[in-house]
Amino acid sequence: MKSAILHFLLAVPLALVAQEVNIDHTGSVENPKPTWETQNQARTYTLAIPAPRGQITDRNGRPLAQSRLSYNLAINFPTPLDWQDSKVIAFARQQITLAKGLLKRDIQISDQAILNHYKNRGVLPLDIVEDLLPTELSVIQGGLPQELLLRQTYVRFYPNGTLAAHMIGYTGREAPLSTRPIENNDLIFPESEGREGLEQIFDNELRGQPGILHITYDKNGKKTSERIARQPVPGYNVITTLDDNLQRLCENVLAANSKRGALVLLDAPSGEILAMASNPGFNPNDFVPIIRPAIFDAYSKDPGDPLVPRAFRSAYPAGSTFKTFVGFAALETGKIKPGDEFNCPASLDVGDHTFRNWKKTGSGSLTFKEALTQSCNTWFYQVGLKIGAPPIIDYAHRLGLGRRTGIPVKSESEGNIPTDEYMMRVHKRKIKNGDVANMAIGQGDILISPLQMAQAMGVISQAGRFHQTRLVKQVQTIDNRVVAAYPDRIREEIPVSPEIDALMRKALVAVTSDGQGTAHSAQVKGIKVAGKTGTAQWGPTEKQRTAAWFAGFLPADDPQYAFAALYEGEPNDNTVHGGSHAAPIIGKLFKQIYAPAKTAAGDSKNDDEEKSSAADESN
């Protein structure tokens, strides 16, 4: 980064003579207008040199967003700036024609834009071609007339293309200043500003401190000197919790096994986000320095909504994954005991409505472990009605469901855990028994984001210790001095007895390993996978879609990862289930993490075997 700064500064002609200006402690110049020297009637402009934007990196310092040098071809208007409009246009058109011949490309710029620049900012070059290609640059460097020159600027660059794009976000160029007269402190070229993701949230930290350039003109308006009074200081670097290797694995597996979906991977002991993928994705380089209308139109009209970060900005009905949290609440409140049994019939009447199990036949009396393994709806209806809505709502909130995680991004989904207040506001009534029955199996008005789901499973994996979910580790200077840190901290402690902690792990492991479990395709050789499948429908009846889930943690006895996989089914596709579509995503991901040389992304070698052994619930 430092070498890039020097390279840029050396491209600015050094001043032979310069006027001094007063600079306050913040680095800003006191005089808002160009100053006049009373002795010789010389004018000095004091302008700002944009600083290179700081980097955004993964947890190991590997760059996810950085700045690069870009070369613009510009017209250099001679001074004094006293030409008539017609002469300005003729001069500019002559240079544009010459540039077209050199570059073999069309160059479009209006007469009005030329005149605006000449009258308001003619002391600076007018860019006519931005971000020259390497082949064009080699042609230009062969020699240019003095009326044309190369200008170096900084451009944002995302070296990994689409990788982690929804979290990093993108930048855009600030509005041009050519519509008003130049003033002191104006930038010599527009800066980039964060428009989405971490680029937007940490925009001030990433921007850096502009340098100062003095340009002096004599009493006749002819430029006599330029001098750099202060070099720009690069912006701070933002160090994320992401691991770019794990992020790449998650994105590849998700893309190979879904058209639309999300995959979240947390470090279970600390709450750090190691990877968070949303499919489909986008390339933030398409937005730099500005997005072309055709590309923006393509993104906007894409039915897959590639600009939507499904992992944290979308929320879905939870389906049977929510049974994990209902059982947790029931056991921890003591309203049911680990050995208590409830019948699992094919259906259950609640008031005047019949609620059905996903199986068409009953399964007899079951304990919690057996009911979670088989995902028996009617068992959980009864437990939900026994304990009531308040404990379910309370424990859901304590696990972070229906609340934003607090990661530094805008528009994170809050999700929804329906309360009496919510029901009164939306449905004009309080929670009824039918609502509780729906809530007990993750249906009704429950909405959970994939990030919240992984977070809640992380809390279960840590026996109730809720580590604050984090996306950023620290902010530091170019010489690695930490200016802001976001260390591990406990957001909440949920008391969990050793007996219930052990039972929860056994039940979640049985989901993947027991003969009647619903997630055999998530198995990883030599690793105990703890998790829960879920399948839920949402949307209008004629275009109903299915959210297929698998969420949990592993290794079960010493959890290192908490995860959530969400697969979005196509409208009216009733073949989509958590066990058949979401669980295999997790299985394929961790087979690569634990044995990367043996399995490739999207490998379907054992798909038939996995799917044939996996049952699943349909609601």
Q: Could you list the residue range(s) of the whole structural domain that residue 91 is in?
A: 2-54+69-157+185-190+208-234
| pLDDT class of 48 with cuts at 50, 70, 90 | very high
Place of tokens 């010599």: 188
Same domain, 318 and 217: no
Residue 115 above 60 pLDDT? Answer: yes
Residue 169 domain-assigned (yes or no): no
pLDDT digits (tens, 9 = 90+) for 331-349: 999 999 999 999 999 999 8
Mean pLDDT of the chain: 89
Residue 603 domain-assigned (yes or no): yes
Q: How many domains does the chain have?
A: 2
Range of weakest confidence among 21-30, 56-65, 558-567: 21-30
Same domain, 221 and 265: no
Same domain, 80 and 217: yes
Same domain, 376 and 341: yes
Residue 524 domain-assigned (yes or no): yes
Is 422:410 a contact under the CB 8 Å cutoff?
Answer: no
- Residue 353 is predicted with a pLDDT of 86
| pLDDT class of 28 with cuts at 50, 70, 90 | very low
The pair of structure tokens assigned to 110 is 């209006």
Same domain, 221 and 346: no
Residue 380 above 90 pLDDT? Answer: yes
Same domain, 421 and 324: yes
Whole-number percent of the chain with pLDDT over 70: 89
Same domain, 81 and 227: yes
pLDDT digits (tens, 9 = 90+) for 148-180: 999 989 899 999 999 999 999 999 988 776 678
| pLDDT class of 290 with cuts at 50, 70, 90 | confident
Same domain, 296 and 225: no
> What is the pLDDT averaged over residues 53-76?
96
Residue 469 domain-assigned (yes or no): yes
Pick the last residue of a domain from 166, 199, 234. Answer: 234
| pLDDT class of 123 with cuts at 50, 70, 90 | confident
CATH number of the domain enclosing 344:
3.40.710.10
Residue 86 domain-assigned (yes or no): yes
Tell which residue, 513, 521, 549, has the closest CA to residue 534: 549
Residue 110 domain-assigned (yes or no): yes
Residue 230 domain-assigned (yes or no): yes
> What is the pLDDT averaged over residues 103-107?
92
**What pTM was estimated for this model as a whole?**
0.88
pLDDT digits (tens, 9 = 90+) for 183-195: 888 998 888 999 9
Strands (E), 218-352: 223-230, 237-240, 261-267, 272-279, 342-344, 347-350
Same domain, 340 and 222: no
Same domain, 274 and 216: no
Backbone torsions φ then ψ of 212, nearest 5 degrees? -125, 130
Is 435:429 a contact under the CB 8 Å cutoff?
Answer: no
Pick the last residue of a domain from 166, 200, 234. Answer: 234
- Residue 16 is predicted with a pLDDT of 23
* Cβ neighbours around 275 below 10 Å, total: 28
Residue 611 above 60 pLDDT? Answer: no
Of residues 257 and 598, the one with the higher pLDDT is 257
- Residue 178 is predicted with a pLDDT of 67
CA distances from 294 to 171, 287, 288, 298, 337 (A): 18, 12, 14, 6, 61
Residue 462 domain-assigned (yes or no): yes
Tell which residue, 323, 55, 83, has the closest CA to residue 207: 55
Same domain, 222 and 286: no
Helix locations, 359-490, DSSP H:
368-374, 377-387, 389-398, 420-427, 433-440, 450-461
Same domain, 264 and 219: no
Identify the H or E element spanning 326.
Answer: helix 323-332
